Amino acid sequence: MNFVVQLSYLLAAVLFILGLKAMSSPRTARKGIMWAGAGMVLATLVTFLHPAVHGLTNYVLIVIAIAAAGGLAWWSGRRVGMTEMPQMVALYNGMGGGAAAAIAAVEMLRALRTLPNDLQVRAEALAADADISVQAATAALRAEGAGSVGIAGALGADVAILAILGAFIGTVAFSGSLIAWAKLDGRMKRSQLVPGQQIVNIVVFALAVLFGILTFFTDSALVVAVFFALGLLFGVFVAVPIGGADMPVIISLFNALTGLAVGFEGYAIGNPAMIIAGTVVGAAGTLLTQLMAKAMNRPLTNVLFAGWGSSEGATSEGPEGEMKDISAEDAGIMMAYAERVIIVPGYGMAVAQAQHKIWEFVELLQDRGVEVKFAIHPVAGRMPGHMNVLLAEAGVPYDMIFDMEDINEEFAMTDVAVVIGANDVVNPAARDDPSSPIYGMPILNVDEAENVMVIKRGGGAGFSGVENHLFYGENTRMVFGDGQKVAGGMVQAVKGL
């Protein structure tokens, strides 16, 4: 039976890897999700055959867990709106970290329970051998260090180290992801800094490391509990101050941490599917974190310990001048007579679900011989690849979609740059104003285009809360309204020509 279990884990791991590979392109992503999902179903169901699982109670508990979690995920997955996807991803990511930490907790508590028994058995054997009392034998064993070797003694040093590391990483990913979820869901202020935040973070981290080391040697459940609590606290303290431009970096970091925690705990309980899946997710998440940090121009240590990138302490002055607006119809007609147009989508396009109307509009422009391209900022929207997914869903060909570094120089040669629902990713303050909280974040240089059309409902700030001078530019026209309605108006205007 064990052979079947191990083979199933291997097959599940292969499905995870193939699934992840397929997810790297929008064309095959749907297939990739199905493969990875099938791997997960296999890895879950094979638990019933695991040699360590026996007794009716265990089977009933597994069925209840699968039914409750599967039912909840099915229900929430079906009703979640496209704009709520990022917070759902953050939530599920947190669950992964929490599950890994829970496995570590169970293993450690099991180890603590077996420690006294182990000592008792050895003391009784020694008492019988040496013809002394059990108390004397216990005292002699304790004097030799038995019973004080703690969790490491019961689990083995390698397993204990990985279990402890996985526990810390998992608890941080769990509590941090919950805070990220609350922020993305608008339940919490984007960024909250407590006085001396950097010191607090460093102290909590140092204490967590200290209690991690103590946990290795301890036979006290209290030490283990304090260690877990410190991990949870550190996750909260890391995520609470994050605002402005750092959110994408921290979300992908938590993603990577969850993968690592699962991999470590997989080693601790000897589960190869968890080791492979965790390592793959950890590696992919680490690469994504690096990409995001590079895209935001932010060293990771700054994100973790500094709490910069928040809108607190913003000293940049408010924009001067007035916004000039234009109707959707006039904007559409102007673009119909342009030669080159670049469209920059942002979070507001997802809110308005305007991608289909925008693509209809672009096809009309192309019929008239206008050259149209899409420019995607790496952190546009609320999750990595957010805009690519929306454009793919609308049927925009991939060769029309360009990354920031590939298209940024073309804005200066463009007749009209159309910004639909984007704000922070086109804010010139990030490039020009050293006092701005988002200074240093690379942006799409839409302000260099001959004309800029900004489609949004009002003049307000974006995710970072920083005012946008672009809206007041000489060459900027605001097209006020919901993204989908405005795009519909532009379509009608061009059709009427």
Q: Which residues are catalytic?
A: 424
CA distance 373 to 359: 11
* Rg of the chain, C-alpha, whole Å: 28
x/- track of binding to ligand NAP for residues 432-461 (CB under 6 A)? -----------------------xxxx-x-
Nearest to 334 by CA among 490, 155, 144, 185: 490
Tell me which residues in 60-119 interact with ligand NAP (CB under 6 A).
86
x/- track of binding to ligand NAP for residues 203-242 (CB under 6 A)? ----------------------------------------
Where does this chain touch ligand NAP (CB under 6 A) — which range of 50-58, 133-141, 409-417, 419-427?
419-427
Residue type, 440: G
Nearest to 387 by CA among 411, 360, 422: 422
Nearest approach, Cβ of residue 184 and ligand NAP (Å): 6
| Residue from 170, 282, 285, 381 in contact with ligand NAP (CB under 6 A) | 381
User: Does residue 383 interact with ligand NAP by CB under 6 A?
Assistant: yes
Helix, strand, or coil (residue 379): coil
Size of residue set near ligand NAP by CB under 6 A = 32
User: Does residue 417 interact with ligand NAP by CB under 6 A?
Assistant: no
Contact 304, 201 (CB under 8 A): yes
User: Does residue 298 interact with ligand NAP by CB under 6 A?
Assistant: no
User: Does residue 373 interact with ligand NAP by CB under 6 A?
Assistant: no
Q: Which is nearer to ligand NAP, 383 or 391 (CB)?
A: 383
Q: Which is nearer to ligand NAP, 32 or 384 (CB)?
A: 384
Helix, strand, or coil (residue 310): coil
What does each C-alpha distance from 112 to 124, 203, 482 come to in angstroms?
19, 28, 59
Nearest approach, Cβ of residue 358 and ligand NAP (Å): 11
x/- track of binding to ligand NAP for residues 129-168 (CB under 6 A)? ----------------------------------------
Contact 306, 186 (CB under 8 A): no
Nearest to 183 by CA among 94, 97, 305: 94
∠ Cα 330 334 338 (to 5°): 170
| Residue from 346, 437, 473, 489 in contact with ligand NAP (CB under 6 A) | 346
What does each C-alpha distance from 33 to 86, 89, 407 come to in angstroms?
17, 14, 30
User: Does residue 464 interact with ligand NAP by CB under 6 A?
Assistant: yes
CA distance 425 to 358: 19
| Residue from 23, 208, 233, 379 in contact with ligand NAP (CB under 6 A) | 379
Nearest approach, Cβ of residue 459 and ligand NAP (Å): 7
Nearest approach, Cβ of residue 219 and ligand NAP (Å): 43
Nearest approach, Cβ of residue 257 and ligand NAP (Å): 16
User: Does residue 347 interact with ligand NAP by CB under 6 A?
Assistant: yes
| Residue from 311, 423, 436, 451 in contact with ligand NAP (CB under 6 A) | 423
User: Does residue 477 interact with ligand NAP by CB under 6 A?
Assistant: no
Query: Alpha helices of 337-476 — where are they, by DSSP H?
Result: 347-352, 355-367, 386-394, 404-407, 429-432
Instruction: Return the half-sphere exposure (C-beta side, CA atoms, 13 A cut-off) of residue 200.
Output: 16
Neighbours of 230 (CB within 10 A): 22
User: Does residue 380 interact with ligand NAP by CB under 6 A?
Assistant: yes
| Residue from 35, 211, 463, 471 in contact with ligand NAP (CB under 6 A) | 463
Helix, strand, or coil (residue 378): coil
Token pair belonging to 390? 């929306």
Q: Where are the beta strands (DSSP E) in 142-284?
A: none
> Which H/E stretch holds residue 373?
strand 371-376
| Residue from 273, 422, 430, 493 in contact with ligand NAP (CB under 6 A) | 422
| Residue from 384, 442, 473, 489 in contact with ligand NAP (CB under 6 A) | 384
∠ Cα 388 284 176 (to 5°): 90
Residues of this chain that bind ligand NAP (CB under 6 A): 86, 245, 247-248, 251, 346-348, 351-352, 379-384, 386, 421-425, 455-458, 460, 462-464, 482-483
